[in-house]
């Protein structure tokens, strides 16, 4: 069954489809969910539920630069899952400006989540510098009562914002699923 899923994913990637591939219902609960394949955004990510929003465009300002982002959003009981890619204007993201873009994206995400940083990690995603942020969030009730985590990646002309929020997400299963979601982000071949 796993071999069939891998072949199906590879078929979607090679044909340029944008879509989602649902795991079979016979999969163990930890593996259920959807793999969101966004060929136009050149990425894939696992979500524990099928997205409610699938590629919907949104105009935002990140660090004073207006960008168009495409979002993939899902929710499970008490936890939100959001994967976005943003098209950056030519010349915004180069080797010398990449840290600035990541800093601006972090500020944008924290404002959006009404978050307060608890930890930051500089990481690599497939050899591309990225940042993981961990924050307390006041998104739901105006108090810092939620767990917020995000992955920020800049590659070429794309900004990737992969984030998750859980209201009182102190359950180990929620935190594990949040980590699985963030760690599942992959670039697609151009």
Nearest to 37 by CA among 83, 106, 90, 89: 83
Domains in the chain: ranges and CATH = 50-184 (3.40.1000.10)
Measured in whole angstroms, the distance separating CA 110 from the mean position of its chain's CA atoms is: 14
Per-residue pLDDT of the chain (190 residues; tens, 9 = 90+): 333 333 233 333 333 333 433 333 333 344 467 888 888 889 999 998 888 888 889 999 999 999 999 999 998 877 899 999 999 988 777 666 888 999 999 999 999 888 889 999 999 999 999 999 999 887 666 666 788 999 999 998 899 999 998 876 556 667 888 999 999 999 998 7
Neighbours of 79 (CB within 10 A): 22
φ and ψ at 179, to 5 degrees? -65, -40
CA distance 184 to 171: 20
pTM for the model stands at 0.79
CA distance 41 to 18: 9
Give the Cβ contact number of residue 59 at 10 Å: 9
């Amino acid at each position: 069954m796993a071999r069939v899923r891998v072949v199906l994913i590879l078929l979607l990637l090679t044909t340029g489809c944008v879509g989602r591939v649902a795991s079979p219902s016979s999969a163990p609960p930890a593996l259920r969910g959807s793999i969101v394949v966004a060929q136009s955004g050149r990425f894939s990510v696992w979500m524990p539920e099928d997205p409610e929003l699938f590629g919907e465009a949104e105009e935002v300002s990140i660090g004073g630069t207006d960008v168009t982002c495409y979002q993939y959003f899902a929710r499970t009981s008490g936890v939100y899952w959001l994967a976005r890619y943003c098209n950056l204007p030519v010349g915004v993201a180069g080797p010398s400006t990449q840290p600035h873009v990541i800093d601006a994206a972090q500020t944008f995400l924290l404002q959006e989540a009404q978050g307060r940083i608890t930890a930051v990690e500089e990481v690599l995603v497939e050899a591309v510098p990225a940042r993981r942020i961990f924050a307390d969030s006041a998104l739901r009730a105006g108090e810092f009562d939620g767990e917020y985590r995000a992955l920020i990646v800049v590659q070429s002309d794309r900004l990737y914002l992969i984030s998750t929020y859980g209201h009182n997400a102190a359950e180990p299963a929620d935190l594990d699923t949040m980590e699985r979601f963030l760690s599942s982000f992959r670039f697609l071949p151009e």
